[in-house]
Structure 1
Amino acid sequence: MSVQEKARHVGLEDLLARPLLQTVFKRRTHRVSRGASVPARSMSYESPHQPMPLGELEEAVLIALTGCSGLTMPDRPFEDPRDHQPIMAKPNLNMVGRTAGSPDNAQGTHFFMINDSGTYFLRKLPPSAGAAFDPDTLIERARQSKVKVLDHRLDVAEGMRDFPAYLDSNRFLSNLKGTTLFLPVVDLSHQYINALMYLLTQPEGARPTLVDDRNFYRPAGVRKWMKNGFLNPDLKLPLGALGPMRTQIEADLLLQNMMLVADAMGLGAWIHATISPQIMLGDPKFSRTYGRMLGFDFVTPRFSPADILRWQVPLPRYANLRAHPVGLRADGEHLIKGACPPNYPSMEAAVDAVVRSKFGKGGIYDDQEAFRRIYKNGYAARYLAEASEYDQKVIDCARDICVYIHATHGRFPAHADAIHVPGIWLQTHHLESEYYERFFMNGLTDAHRRHASRWDV
């Protein structure tokens, strides 16, 4: 690619000019990548082509969609309009935003990218100060983002693509040579703590009593807070009802954005079931058969006789049924670090770390320069001074709940995994165009038909 072509890339210009609604309404899943064959009886197709991996710029555009895209706005009230009492107005875990929404801007979703050259963890870089869609900038930021965690494509061994690794027909078209996949995993643990605190900022009488639906609906470490009136004993909320605190929705929204952009570029795009998440992350129950795969750190709670009733774990040798991933390390560095033991010495320490990341020295609400880039005319200082933070009672009550969960169930969270895997990934690839032209009325869009002339230069 010449210097002039780098400065003015026709494929990128075409993408930026493409109408959004045209992409949305013409979006369709395209499963068959260049070089793939389809055994389908009288509709069988044998590709005459070799697989064709995505180019560096094509991947860089998609990587950009997983990263940070600027700063968010704390456009929320500071006080209750009924009595003008202050309300908690600093719930965010981050102020940098992405291309999709996130509860309390938790941004717990991390991405892996899988292609012929290996498997990569994608770091979330700070928002770009320059032209985000300049080809050189995109490619350079993609290079900075990538951390190689495997020197090969993440996959099970040859001949092991049947269930529980792959589902049904997916095993014939998913994760083939030449394809690039984007795999999301979501750290629920930080937002689980943060959302508990946010929940406890409700006004008097509206703060619920957390009860444990896996322990006979007993109070979840909050008896003191019921007695002193901080929580309403008549308003009960089961821990299980909290689920993943809605944090898992981030991954779905981000994947949809990526699929739309891939389709607008003229690439094939397919969101579908991954390799079984437990196998893929390296759950000890499966690693003897399938290997360590991504090699996440797992915690297996110590068996308690009460687990027979709480979790239907009948004997100590089945304790690993409740093993869950808590983080990922590469070369001694934590790439993903759940807010729970053993990453922290205790749940008290994990909760305190989340609070410090928000309000401590160097925390997001201590970064005055960031807020000066969000607000006009000196309003940043007003927001930081006037918007309320968590009351100490809120922090202490949330800490007691988190300590209870870990002490009672041997892991945190107990009713969801610290690292949640949605179980879907996005495959992007160059299309086997002849297959779609042969069999389908509207198999290709104009973007697909002209992709090669605009991107493969």
Structure 2
Amino acid sequence: MPRDDGGDGPRADGHHPGLDDLFVRPLLETVWRRRTHRVSRGANVPAGSMSHVSEQAPQPLTELEEAVLIALTGCTGLTMPDRPFDDPRNGKPIMAKPNLTMAGRTAGSPDNAQGTHFFLINDTGTYYLRKLDPAPGEPFDALTLTDRARQSKVQVLDHRLDVAEGLRDFPAYLDSNRFLSNLPGTTLLFPVVDLSHQYINALMYLLTQPDGARPTLVDDRNFYRPAGVKKWIRNGFLNEKLKLPLGALGPLRTQIEADLLLQNLMLVAEGMGLGAWIHASINPQIALGDPKFSRAYGKMLGFTFVTPRWRVADLWRWHIPLPRYANVRSHPVGLKAPNGEPLISAMCPPAFASMSDAVDAVIREKFGPGGVYGDKDVFSRIYREDYGRRYLAEASEYEDRVVECARDICAYILRTHRRFPAHTDAIHVPGVWLQAHHVERPYYEKYFTNGLTDAHRRHGELWDD
């Protein structure tokens, strides 16, 4: 059957034997047989008497193979707000609109923050993967997958994200990873997580607890003093005896999204018969372009970094002894495309003049015109009959005191520590990425008893014909 592009793209009718095989492959079998395959086609393995020299050329993933993986990083439909509206103990309303978005993905997310962004790296360059709206119907035909993948990709570099030749040692790469990671022919998916939206949202959600159960936020980097909440202790809104250090909040569990998504990607790559390997990425600070490393390694992805101005109090708060060491506390806050389009923007300066403005922006994105809970059409598609309208009318939102208290905490953090958040980065980088590649079959066949599955052995005939 002819293909639409005359080459290795999908067939004209959208069907593809590789997809057909993937759809019927048992999930439990894939999970049970899942193993890391680090050696990509064309790679050499210097290992003493088990050394291997490849006689094959590197073979990049096809557009469709990459499109399947790209689909796994994106939106897959709409979530369900299946939570109670009332406290069963006394019937009082409880906050039932915590989500930052109603768009679902293949992995869960705290309050559906979905702060994880992905970059894709291959032989043609480095791409930011834009989040698309859910595809109508089931987007599992080859033509739809490849079309959506093209829409998603925004090229940020015309080459692989990598360090210069001769710099693949620590701190750029870790140990033996430098010999097998990010080689020609491989595709990598690199996650970064914007924590700032959920940091603000989760603070507000935390402050919706019942009377007596709302904690007093204290600053463990400032002698455990109240974190801008003295007013709220005095008026009884917060429980002074129930203290919660800002440092204990950490990234508010938002970072687990990336780990779950990477696992899903690995399982799908395994089911496709590709090699898949989750491992330490290039040092995150180097990869994003932290000023501390850019002189040696270049701008790399070119994220915008904020470096808090040093003050004497940083001696005991952050153990920063002198102004020249202030860049120890630099953190990434955003990224723009080469044409200037904002791709990632943290909810803090410089994107906002103040943290009060940033908190207001989160509220608008949730409850304002065109916001998450202002789109009645979305909820009419989530619910049957008129239950979407009922949910929007009956489920409670943040009360004014919650928003005002959260605003005071956020303003305190920026005022005291000159960055937001202070106890975690605005944009968190897990420091791992997934490499997908065609496996070096002769190596696995020669040395390992169960080195390959039938999916690996049949991959060529199903996907690469």
TM-score with structure 2 setting the length: 0.98
Q: 1:406, CA displacement in angstroms?
A: 0.4
Instruction: Tell me the equivalent position of 2:213.
Output: 206
Instruction: Tell me the equivalent position of 1:149.
Output: 156
Instruction: Tell me the equivalent position of 2:304.
Output: 297
- Give the alignment partner of residue 381 of structure 2, picking from 347, 369, 373: 373
Distance 1:368 1:310 in 2: 47
Distance 2:57 2:423 in 1: 46
Seen in structure 2, the aligned counterparts of structure 1 residues 169 and 6 have a Cα distance that, compared at 3 Å, is: farther
Distance 1:247 1:352 in 2: 21
Distance 2:131 2:14 in 1: 25
Distance 1:454 1:102 in 2: 34
Structure 1 residue identity aligned to 2:100: L
What per-residue deviation string (whole Å, max 9, x for no partner) do you get for residues 346-378 of structure 1? 000000000100000110000000000000010
- The SS at the match of 1:373 is helix
Structure 2 residue identity aligned to 1:19: P
Structure 2 counterparts to residues 220-369 of structure 1, below 5 A: 220-330=227-337, 331-369=339-377
Indicate if the aligned counterparts of 1:34 and 1:429 stay in contact, CA closer than 8 A.
yes
- Give the alignment partner of residue 8 of structure 1, picking from 15, 36, 43: 15
What per-residue deviation string (whole Å, max 9, x for no partner) do you get for residues 406-439 of structure 1? 0000000000000000000000000000000000
Distance 2:136 2:405 in 1: 41
1:447 is aligned to 2:455? yes
Q: 1:242, CA displacement in angstroms?
A: 0.3
Instruction: Tell me the equivalent position of 1:98.
Output: 105
Distance 1:284 1:171 in 2: 23
1:26 is aligned to 2:33? yes
Q: 1:131, CA displacement in angstroms?
A: 2.8
Distance 2:12 2:385 in 1: 41
Structure 2 residue identity aligned to 1:440: F
Indicate if the aligned counterparts of 1:114 and 1:181 stay in contact, CA closer than 8 A.
yes
Q: Provide structure 1 residue ranges, at least 5 long, that are not aligned to the other structure.
A: none
1:64 is aligned to 2:71? yes
Structure 2 residue identity aligned to 1:393: R
Structure 2 residue identity aligned to 1:384: L
Instruction: Tell me the equivalent position of 2:424.
Output: 416
Over the aligned positions, Cα root-mean-square deviation in angstroms equals: 0.7
Distance 2:311 2:247 in 1: 20
Structure 2 counterparts to residues 82-93 of structure 1, below 5 A: 82-93=89-100
1:429 is aligned to 2:437? yes
What per-residue deviation string (whole Å, max 9, x for no partner) do you get for residues 109-139 of structure 1? 0000000000000001000003311100000
Structure 2 residue identity aligned to 1:338: A
Q: 1:300, CA displacement in angstroms?
A: 0.1
Distance 1:182 1:20 in 2: 22
Instruction: Tell me the equivalent position of 1:401.
Output: 409
Instruction: Tell me the equivalent position of 1:185.
Output: 192
Indicate if the aligned counterparts of 1:265 and 1:447 stay in contact, CA closer than 8 A.
yes
Distance 2:237 2:455 in 1: 59
What per-residue deviation string (whole Å, max 9, x for no partner) do you get for residues 141-164 of structure 1? 000000000000000000000000
Structure 2 residue identity aligned to 1:431: V
Instruction: Tell me the equivalent position of 2:174.
Output: 167
Q: 1:5, CA displacement in angstroms?
A: 6.1
What per-residue deviation string (whole Å, max 9, x for no partner) do you get for residues 187-210 of structure 1? 000000000000000000000000
Structure 2 residue identity aligned to 1:448: H
Instruction: Tell me the equivalent position of 1:195.
Output: 202
Indicate if the aligned counterparts of 1:124 and 1:145 stay in contact, CA closer than 8 A.
yes
What per-residue deviation string (whole Å, max 9, x for no partner) do you get for residues 80-129 of structure 1? 01111100000000001000000000000000000000000000100000
Instruction: Tell me the equivalent position of 2:53.
Output: 46
Distance 2:399 2:191 in 1: 34
Q: 1:332, CA displacement in angstroms?
A: 1.5
Distance 1:49 1:228 in 2: 73
Q: 1:12, CA displacement in angstroms?
A: 0.3
Indicate if the aligned counterparts of 1:37 and 1:46 stay in contact, CA closer than 8 A.
yes
Instruction: Tell me the equivalent position of 2:390.
Output: 382
- The SS at the match of 1:50 is coil
Q: 1:6, CA displacement in angstroms?
A: 4.6
Structure 2 residue identity aligned to 1:432: E
Q: 1:7, CA displacement in angstroms?
A: 2.9
- The SS at the match of 2:382 is coil
Indicate if the aligned counterparts of 1:131 and 1:137 stay in contact, CA closer than 8 A.
no
Q: 1:231, CA displacement in angstroms?
A: 0.1
Distance 1:195 1:2 in 2: 48
Distance 2:88 2:325 in 1: 53
Distance 1:232 1:16 in 2: 53
TM-score with structure 1 setting the length: 0.99
1:136 is aligned to 2:143? yes
Structure 2 residue identity aligned to 1:405: I
Distance 1:16 1:5 in 2: 19
Structure 2 residue identity aligned to 1:346: S
Give the total of aligned pairs: 457
